[in-house]
């Protein structure tokens, strides 16, 4: 897991953000991240469109144009990185706060079917 300072520059969806990541030595990279540790499978149906809009609004209000500490995990098959976002001075990730609020469910790895 890697830790960076970043500025959230765009909320792409209920599960993805773009951040300008400070890589050090004056190098800034814009990168898309998917929120780690959250189960987004419920958003695959058309019935959850209203909830997805609500989540995107919550993310926009809390994170857009705000500095965060970003802890990233290895890239998924799709090439999008997973990230835990921490607001300044907080020890609990914003991802975990969303789960604790009841807005989202934690990701639970399911066993492969035989």
Q: Give me 52's structure tokens.
A: 């997805």
pTM of the model: 0.86
Q: Are 79 and 72 within 8 A, CB to CB?
A: no
Q: Could you read off the pLDDT of 49-68 as tens digits, one per residue?
A: 888 888 999 999 999 999 99
Q: Where are the domains of the chain?
A: 2-106
Using CA atoms, how far residue 108 sits from 31, 49, 72, 105, in Å, is 25, 22, 18, 9
pLDDT in the model for residue 22: 97
Assign domain 2-106 to a CATH class: mainly beta
* 109: enclosing H helix or E strand: none
3-state SS class at 32? strand
Q: Which of 92, 86, 88, 87 is nearest to 71 (CA)?
A: 86
């Amino acid at each position: 897991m890697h830790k960076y300072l970043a500025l959230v520059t765009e909320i792409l969806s209920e599960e993805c953000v773009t951040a300008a990541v400070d890589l050090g030595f004056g190098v800034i990279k814009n990168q898309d991240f998917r929120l780690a540790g959250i189960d987004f499978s419920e958003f695959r149906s058309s019935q959850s469109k209203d909830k997805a809009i609500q989540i995107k609004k919550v993310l926009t209000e809390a994170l857009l144009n705000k500095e965060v500490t970003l802890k990233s995990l290895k890239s998924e098959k799709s090439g999008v990185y997973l990230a835990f976002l921490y607001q300044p001075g907080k020890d609990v990730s914003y991802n975990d706060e969303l789960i604790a609020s009841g807005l989202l469910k934690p990701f639970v790895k399911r066993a492969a079917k035989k």
